[in-house]
């Protein structure tokens, strides 16, 4: 910058222009280009960490349980009901395959008289439309009598191939009951919550 240009700037420049020029000149005299690039790079590397800082976010607050609406996680859950446990669309029956013990003289988690529950079960995860939560369901076959031949359901939420037997509903689980291995019906007992 020529001395004559500087004199013109001092006469015509605003206060902001002079302050900015002085700041930039002082910064240029005390730092190198590499130093500025290093600080700029460090700042850019630190920017992704800012969302991790503890900040109160009003938009992230959860609604009260009564006001929240939960989307059903599967097509079965979207149409499931929680009133009639003798119907195939009852929410606990999302992964059941067989006759319902509730229509054969037993209960939702108890076998009919004269039958015995299998010692093993297959597991399903079913969505309860009443409380908006998912539960682990143990499906047990009741064995020892011929099939009751009442309400037969085939629901396949989460059904896995036979090489994953713990989640396969096509296997007859009556082995090891000490009685006959004849299949009668299936129960659906809640064993825990998934949420």
Least reliable range by pLDDT among 8-17, 59-68, 109-118, 168-177: 59-68
pLDDT band at 9 (very low <50, low <70, confident <90, very high): low
169 assigned to a ligand binding site: yes
Looking at 91, 141, 157, 173, which residue is catalytic? 141
89 among known catalytic residues: no
Are the C-beta atoms of 186 and 121 separated by less than 8 Å?
A: no
The tens digit of pLDDT for each residue in 140-195 reads 999 988 888 888 888 877 666 666 666 566 677 787 777 778 889 999 999 988 86
Average pLDDT estimate for 28-57? 78
Identify which of 186, 179, 63, 59 has the alpha carbon closest to the alpha carbon of residue 132.
63
Looking at 8, 17, 89, 122, which residue is catalytic? 122
Average pLDDT estimate for 41-66? 67
pTM metric for this prediction:
0.58
Mean pLDDT of the chain: 81
155 assigned to a ligand binding site: no
89 assigned to a ligand binding site: no
190 assigned to a ligand binding site: no
122 among known catalytic residues: yes
Are the C-beta atoms of 177 and 116 separated by less than 8 Å?
A: yes
């Amino acid at each position: 910058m020529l001395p004559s240009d500087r004199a013109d700037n001092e006469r015509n420049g605003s206060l902001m222009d002079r302050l900015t020029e002085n700041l930039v000149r002082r910064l240029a005299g005390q730092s190198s280009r590499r130093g500025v690039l290093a600080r700029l790079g460090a700042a850019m590397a630190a920017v992704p960490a800012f969302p991790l800082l503890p900040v109160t976010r009003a938009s992230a607050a959860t609604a009260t349980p009564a006001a929240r609406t939960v989307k059903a996680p599967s097509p079965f859950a979207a149409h499931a009901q929680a009133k009639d446990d003798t119907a195939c669309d009852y929410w606990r029956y999302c992964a059941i395959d067989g006759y319902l013990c509730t229509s054969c003289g037993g209960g939702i988690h108890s076998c009919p008289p004269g039958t015995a529950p299998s010692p093993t079960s297959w597991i399903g995860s079913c969505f309860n439309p009443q409380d908006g939560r998912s539960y682990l369901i143990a499906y047990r076959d009741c064995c020892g009598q011929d099939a009751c031949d009442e309400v037969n359901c085939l629901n396949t939420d989460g059904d896995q191939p036979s090489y994953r037997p713990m989640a396969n509903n096509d296997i007859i689980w009556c082995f090891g009951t000490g009685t006959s291995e004849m299949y009668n019906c299936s129960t659906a007992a809640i064993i825990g919550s998934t949420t």
